[in-house]
Each structure stands twice: as C-alpha cells, then as structure tokens.
C-alpha cells in the first residue's frame, strides 16, 4: 500500500485504529524512564500520544499526511513532533533515542531489514528497541492483519537483524484477544549495546 492508499483509508473513518495504545507497547514500555522516543510508522499516533502523556519527547513519523495531521491535531500541548516521512528511506539521527518503536509496520523482507537496521542505529547505547507486528503464524492460527505472508513478522526475522546491535530481552509470539478470537503478534524488545 502506498501513502495515497493510506490517506484514503484514514479519510474513510473518523478513526481507523483505537485511541488506546497497543497492549504490548504498554506492557513493555510502561516501566521505562521517559526520554526521547522515535515512533516509526506511527499511524494516527496512539502510541506516540501515550508515550508523551508519560513524559516522553516523541518524534512520530508516518508516510500518510492525513495520519500525521491527526497526530498533530491530537498532540496539542504534548511533546510530540509529527512529520511526514517514508521510513523505508528515512535515516534517523544515530544514537539519539532512548526508545525506538515499530508497531505494526509490515514491509517485504529486504525493506523490513533495512528499517530494523536503521531503528537499531537510531537507539543510543542502553536505549530500548521495540517491535510489535502481526506474526507469520497469524495467517493460519490467528485473526486479522495483513494476509500477505511476505510482509508478516517473526521473532526469528527480527532477531536476525537486532542480535548484531542489541541484547534481546523479550522475544515471543503473544496472543492478543480480538473480540471472540485471538491474534498472534511478534513482540521483540531489545536493549542497544
């Protein structure tokens, strides 16, 4: 999907995603000391806004101008700087962030690996990396999410990139309740060396 298609999707509803932050983002990050955060492919900003409410200074990026506009509207008075950027081409400042978050960013493997490397370089030594995404097993054993196996995440694919940069703290396929069903999510949290 390109930015124009996402713009149309965002225009089609008052909100595409929940205003509540992702359950795994809350579980993995609630206890961290606030600092500077980078939210790559932030969508409508639910995680960025939650982080800002906890004292983080957040750079939130998305390639949809409509989504970025929603973040800016919702962020009034919060420490969130939202900008339009294609994270597959964006090069964040190296070693600048206490937290780098990728939440449900689904890309073909070569692009995903490039973004994972870029995210790792953006984290300062001791900084946290967190990826949450629809797991490859979700196609057969879960509900929702992309139906293209080529863009789904796995613990192994994230580890293959982040192991060279960081110490993996959490690496699991987590079950997320969705109405009466369950979605399977890849959750990987690491600390940059």
Domains annotated for the chain, with CATH where assigned, are 3-192 (3.40.50.150)
Q: Is the pLDDT of residue 63 over 80?
A: yes
The partner residues of 129 in beta bridges, in order of sequence, read 100, 190
The partner residues of 161 in beta bridges, in order of sequence, read none
Rounded mean pLDDT, 153-180: 97
Q: Is the pLDDT of residue 18 over 80?
A: no
Q: Is the pLDDT of residue 67 over 60?
A: yes
Please tell me the predicted confidence (pLDDT) of residue 138: 96
For 110, residues 6+ apart whose C-beta sits below 8 A from its C-beta are: none
Residue 12 banded pLDDT, cuts 50, 70, 90: low
pLDDT tens sequence across 47-58: 999 999 999 999
Residue 31 banded pLDDT, cuts 50, 70, 90: very high
Q: Taking a C-beta distance cutoff of 8 angstroms, is the pair 100, 119 a contact?
A: yes
Rounded Cα distance, 129 and 106, in Å: 17
Q: Is the pLDDT of residue 42 over 60?
A: yes
pLDDT tens sequence across 99-153: 999 999 999 999 999 999 999 999 999 999 999 999 999 999 999 999 999 999 9
Please tell me the predicted confidence (pLDDT) of residue 109: 93
Please tell me the predicted confidence (pLDDT) of residue 173: 98
Please tell me the predicted confidence (pLDDT) of residue 186: 98
């Amino acid at each position: 999907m390109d930015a124009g298609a996402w713009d149309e999707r965002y225009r089609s509803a008052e909100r595409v995603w929940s205003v509540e932050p992702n359950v795994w983002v809350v579980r993995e990050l609630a206890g961290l000391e606030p600092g500077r955060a980078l939210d790559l492919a932030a969508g409508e900003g639910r995680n960025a806004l939650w982080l800002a409410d906890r004292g983080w200074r957040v750079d939130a990026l998305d390639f949809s101008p409509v989504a970025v506009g929603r973040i800016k509207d919702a962020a009034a008075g919060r420490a969130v700087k939202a900008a339009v950027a294609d994270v597959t081409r964006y090069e964040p400042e190296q070693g600048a962030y206490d937290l780098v978050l990728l939440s449900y960013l689904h890309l073909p493997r070569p692009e995903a690996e490039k973004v994972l490397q870029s995210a790792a370089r953006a984290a300062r030594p001791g900084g946290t990396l967190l990826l949450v995404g629809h797991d490859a097993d979700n196609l057969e054993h879960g509900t929702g999410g992309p139906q293209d196996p080529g863009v789904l995440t796995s613990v192994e694919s994230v580890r293959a990139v982040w192991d060279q940069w960081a110490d993996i703290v959490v690496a699991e396929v987590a079950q997320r309740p969705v109405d009466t069903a369950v979605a399977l999510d890849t959750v990987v949290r690491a600390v940059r060396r």
